[in-house]
Amino acid sequence: MEARKILLVEDDPNFGAILKDYLIINDFDVTLAKNGMEGFEKFKKDIYDLCILDVMMPYKDGYTLAREIREKNQEVPIIFLTAKTLKEDVLKGYKVGADDYLNKPFDSEVLLMKIKAIIQRKASEVKPDNTKFEFEIGKFHLNSKLRFLSFQNEEPVKLSPKECELLKMLALHENDLMPRELALTKIWRDDNYFTSRSMDVYIAKLRKYMKRDENVEILNIHGEGFRLVVKK
């Protein structure tokens, strides 16, 4: 099998080199970046199976980098390395969408197990077409990468990240049920009263945009979710 590609971002050159070698010995294809900036550049230039990010780095810390990576890619697993054990930091990491968290010093074998567990998990997931980023919705055209929505020959409207993801999620389920829960867990990464209300606010915003085409409607299915209907 093709070696799994790992992006390792670690500012301590010694530790970075050792960890890289260790992973290479264990049959991974490792790219090492010395800081967050470089890490993001390398992330954009290739496709990785896993990112291992140091939290404490000059210029751009691990969280910021993780957030940038998540904007580009919701799927790739992220593991944080940190010397900190502060609760807030761990929580922050999970909020950003981390898959795991490791305190330094850690045992390399444990890291290896975690890596294997995570990569295997991802491999077993059947992924939907997440690469699609252009959608025709009635007379609208949505580009979810550039985050704009155009209507015929009018000036395209810019969408906020949340607006855009929500509309994309609806579009992926065109004319079918898009469960509330799905959007909440995938986009808001949490499912409670407030995130749910927040989502309703975004539904209202989207409806406002979409009403220029009377054949497009976002219907509610009480207690279940929403349905983007496009009449032909």
Partner DNA sequence: ACGAATGTTAATCTTTGGTTAATGTTTTAA
Partner DNA sequence: TTAAAACATTAACCAAAGATTAACATTCGT
> Angle CA(173)–CA(198)–CA(55) in degrees, nearest 5?
90
The answer for residues whose C-beta is within 8 angstroms of residue 232's C-beta and 6 or more apart is: 215
CB of 14 to DNA, least distance (A): 31
The smaller minimum CB distance to a second copy, of residues 164 and 210, is found at 164
Query: What angle is formed at CA 128 by the lines to CA 124 and CA 131, rounded to 5 degrees?
Result: 115
Q: Quick check: 197 and 218 in contact, CB under 8 A? A: no
Which residue's CB is nearer to a second copy, number 56 or number 182?
182
Q: Is 109 in the site for a second copy (CB under 8 A)?
A: yes
The Cα 135–Cα 168 span in angstroms is: 8
Beta carbon of residue 204, minimum distance to DNA (angstroms, whole number):
4
Contact call for residues 192 and 198 (beta carbons, < 8 A): no
The answer to whether residue 190 forms part of the interface with a second copy (CB under 8 A) is yes
Identify what 156 binds: a second copy, DNA, none; CB under 5 to 8 Å per kind.
none
Q: 181 or 214: whose CB is closer to a second copy?
A: 181
For residue 52, the SS3 value is: strand
Note whether 124 binds a second copy by CB under 8 A: yes
127 binds a second copy (CB under 8 A): yes
Site string for a second copy, 51-90 (x = CB under 8 A): ------------------------------------x--x
Q: Give residues in contact with DNA (CB under 7 A).
A: 67, 147, 158, 160-163, 180, 188, 194-198, 200-204, 207-208, 220-225
Structure tokens of 24? 């290479």
β-partners of residue 33 are 9
Q: Is 191 among the residues that bind a second copy (CB under 8 A)?
A: yes
Distance CA 107, CA 47 (A): 27
Sheet holding 225-230, edge to edge: 177-179, 225-230, 216-221
Q: Which of these, 131, 129, 122, lies nearest to 5 by C-alpha position?
A: 122
CA distance linking residue 147 with residue 156, whole number of Å: 10
Per-residue mark of binding to a second copy, 8-47 (x: CB under 8 A): -------------------x--------------------
The interface region with a second copy, picked from 11-19, 32-40, 55-63, 175-183 by CB under 8 A, is 175-183
Binding-site ranges for a second copy (CB under 8 A)? 1, 27, 87, 90-91, 94-95, 97-100, 107, 109-110, 113-114, 116-117, 119-121, 123-128, 145-147, 160-161, 176-177, 180-182, 184-186, 189-192, 221-224, 227
